[in-house]
Amino acid sequence: MNNLMIWSIQFAMFCLVLSILFVFIRLLYGPSAQDRVLALDALYVNGMLIMIVLGIKFETLLYSDIALLISLFGFVGSAAMAKFLLRGEVIEP
């Protein structure tokens, strides 16, 4: 791996960690429940991107499988939270 790739991976990790910090602040102090749901969406997207960057850094495909699982569970959780906020229940009788 060349020097430019190492620096770009470190810069990407720094930006993603900084983004997670800002999203976590929005998650704690969000004025409404919708803001908190959007913060959770951004949190799982950033987690997925960190796994992809780590997979590039360590040159293995295991991290891409983990990123796929994070995105799958994040989407299902976001859909459930959106349905709960709209109707007040997740599972309809």
**Can you give the residue ranges of every domain in the chain?**
15-83
CB atoms within 10 A of CB 16: 18
Tell me, what's the pLDDT at 93? 64
Vertex 50: Cα angle to 61 and 40 (nearest 5): 125
Q: For residues 13 and 89, which has the higher predicted lDDT (pLDDT)? A: 13
pTM of the model: 0.86
Tell me, what's the pLDDT at 34? 85
Nearest to 81 by CA among 32, 48, 45, 40: 40
Calpha distance 93→83 (Å, rounded): 14
Residues 28-69 pLDDT 10s: 998 988 888 899 899 999 999 999 999 999 999 999 999 999
Residues 13-28 pLDDT 10s: 999 999 999 999 999 9
